[in-house]
Amino acid sequence: MDSPDVTTGVPGTPGRTSESSTPATMLERARQRFGGGKNPPPPPPDGGNGSNDDDEGMVRMSFLEHLQELRSRIIKALLGIVVAFVVSLLFCDPLWDFVSQPATHALETLGVHPPTLAQITPMEGFNVIWFKLPIVCAIFLASPWVVYQVWAFIAPGLYRRERRFAAPFILSSAGLFILGGMFAYFVAFRFALTFLLGIGLGKHITPVVSVSEYFDLFVNVVLGVGLVFEMPVVIFFLTLLRIVTPGFLIRHSRYAILIIFIIAAVVTPTPDAFNMMLFAVPMCALFYVGVFASYLLILRREHRQFPWKKALTIVVAVLLLLAVALYLAITMHWITLVPHWPFLSH
């Protein structure tokens, strides 16, 4: 009787084991039977959740797609400014009364009568009141919309957790821009204009201010200070993009303060130190506000908490000391409060 075939791989049969019965071959047959002949995909490198936290929510775009997105955002921002311009045309008369009020106040303070501006050329009044003024007003009105378009262009390159800063970014940017314009209008520009117009008084000089030159000076100061007030937002945004850190800003703060005073000297329309300080001191304060905001961002990234209770205790103590000093100054040194800047009078 013939001996059993040694290549059949029957259990218990002496002889060489067939290649078809090896463990690797049996595993491959099971895969083909239950998996349709395809090997199961390897697990993702992030632990099996199928997504990477660092790339979560980020949008991949080509260079041409970035250009198309930039063009679309610029067009939308310009359309918002155009709509605001049309709305501003309906209120040119009250807007001009508001813009010319610092000049009227300065001339009245210096005793110049009548306290009015001069129109030198026939088209000067039309160009300023009905063209330039609505444009400036439209820029202020459309600033939240323009800032939103800037954020919408940048947001696809940010992580999903960083996109939550959209609303604070838009509100703070527009708010600081408007706050800077108000500071320039109610404080800095009035002092500078009174100083400039009063230089020639008593020297056989009568100040005559043309509409165009006054409006150009007004726009340069108001828009310049409004842009400078965006410093905290710029610092926070650079920290968000990991370009700067709070430690780097503090270590190089002396250079930042020097640059701030140079900018204040350029923006200030007068050469005196007092008006330059009116611009420089708020800018320095805004710089440290931006550093503090970036520090809070770093703490959030590192999952740490800021000691708010201790900080608020210190702030309240400082405010109480200032209130006591103001009370002593009013009661003992005959200083009174007045309803206009600088709110103190001897």
How many angstroms separate the CA atoms of 111 and 198, rounded? 10
Contact 167, 101 (CB under 8 A): no
Mean pLDDT of 260-273: 76
Q: Which pLDDT score, from 0 to 100, does residue 58 have?
A: 53
CB 231 within 8 A of CB 224: no
Average pLDDT for 56-66: 66
CB-CB contact of 207 with 111 (8 Å): no
The DSSP result for 79-99, as a single string, is HHHHHHHHHHHTTHHHHHHHH
Alpha-carbon dihedral 182, 188, 194, 200, rounded to 10 degrees: -140
| pLDDT given at position 97 | 92
Cα 244 from Cα 236, distance rounded (Å): 9
Q: Assess whether pLDDT exceeds 60 at residue 94.
A: yes
Measured between alpha carbons, how far is 98 from 113 in angstroms, rounded to an integer? 19
Average pLDDT, the chain: 78
- Residue 26: the pLDDT is 60
Tell whether the model's pLDDT for residue 74 goes beyond 50.
Answer: yes
| pLDDT tens for each residue of 6-34 | 444 444 444 444 444 565 566 566 555 55
138 vs 32, residue with greater confidence: 138
Please check whether residue 74 is in contact with residue 80, taking contact to mean a CB–CB distance below 8 angstroms.
no
d(CA 265, CA 55): 44
Omega prior to 342 cis, within 30 of 0: yes
Give pLDDT, residue 342.
Answer: 55
**What percent of the chain clears pLDDT 70, i.e. is strictly above it?**
76
* Each residue's pLDDT tens digit, 141-189: 888 888 888 878 877 776 677 677 777 777 888 888 888 888 888 888 8
User: E strand or H helix at 337, and its extent?
Assistant: strand 336-337
Pairwise CA distance, residues 127 & 211, whole Å: 10
Residue 344 parent element (H or E): strand 344-345
Total length of the chain: 346
Which tokens go with 264?
A: 């204040």
Task: Report whether pLDDT(62) > 60.
Answer: yes
Residue type, 287: F
Chain centroid to Cα 228, Å, comes to 10
Mean pLDDT of 224-252: 87
What's the rounded mean pLDDT across residues 205-221?
A: 87
User: Positive or negative, the Cα torsion across 54, 298, 306, 164?
Assistant: negative
Two structure tokens written together for 128: 């300023």
Question: In the chain, how many H helices and how many E strands?
Answer: 14, 2
Q: Which of 25-29, 60-64, 96-100, 200-204 has the highest mean pLDDT?
A: 96-100
pLDDT at 8: 46
How do residues 115-137 score in pLDDT, each as one tens digit?
A: 888 898 889 889 999 999 999 89
The number of angstroms, rounded, from the C-alpha of 135 to the middle of its chain's C-alpha atoms is: 22
Whole-angstrom CA distances from 337 to 12, 340, 341 are: 110, 9, 10
pLDDT (0 to 100) of residue 334: 64
H helix intervals, 111-202: 124-127, 133-141, 143-154, 166-183, 189-197
- CB 87 within 8 Å of CB 141: yes
For residue 4, what pLDDT is reported?
47
pLDDT value of position 12 = 47
Question: What's the mean pLDDT in 88-104?
Answer: 91
- The whole-number pLDDT of residue 81 equals 93
Amino acid at 106: A
